[in-house]
Amino acid sequence: MSAGILHFTKTEFYLKIVPPYIPWHLAMVQISGVCEIVGGIGLLLPQVRRAAAWGLVALLIAVFPANIYMVTDPVSAGAGSLSPVVLWGRLPLQFVFVWWVLWATGQPNN
């Protein structure tokens, strides 16, 4: 949830990591922030936990191009000061996050 809030308080950072081929950068940052906040809240509610988990998985997949953009053009993405190890390490970390969201809600076994 807190990362979703950062989409609104640190908007400039998120705008930089949106690949140029994706339209409506500000809208995409705001929409992904809202989805992250709503998904985080949904994980806390047993009635919607499963739907929230799958929504967050979809979000993690949807924002994956930003991680690739940071690796392929770190300077334009505002990540020029980060080590290539960190940038490349973020790619598999997204899959860990997918597993973690599903594991936390009991989804991998279903």
DSSP state of 11: H
pTM for this entry: 0.85
Domain boundaries, the chain: 2-109
pLDDT in tens, 67-81: 999 999 999 998 888
Percent of the chain surpassing pLDDT 90: 66
Name residue, tokens 């500000």: 26
Condensed to tens digits (0 to 9), the pLDDT of residues 37-69 reads: 999 999 999 899 999 999 999 999 999 999 999
Q: Which amino acid is at 88?
A: W
In angstroms, rounded to a whole number, what is the distance separating the alpha carbons of residues 42 and 39? 5
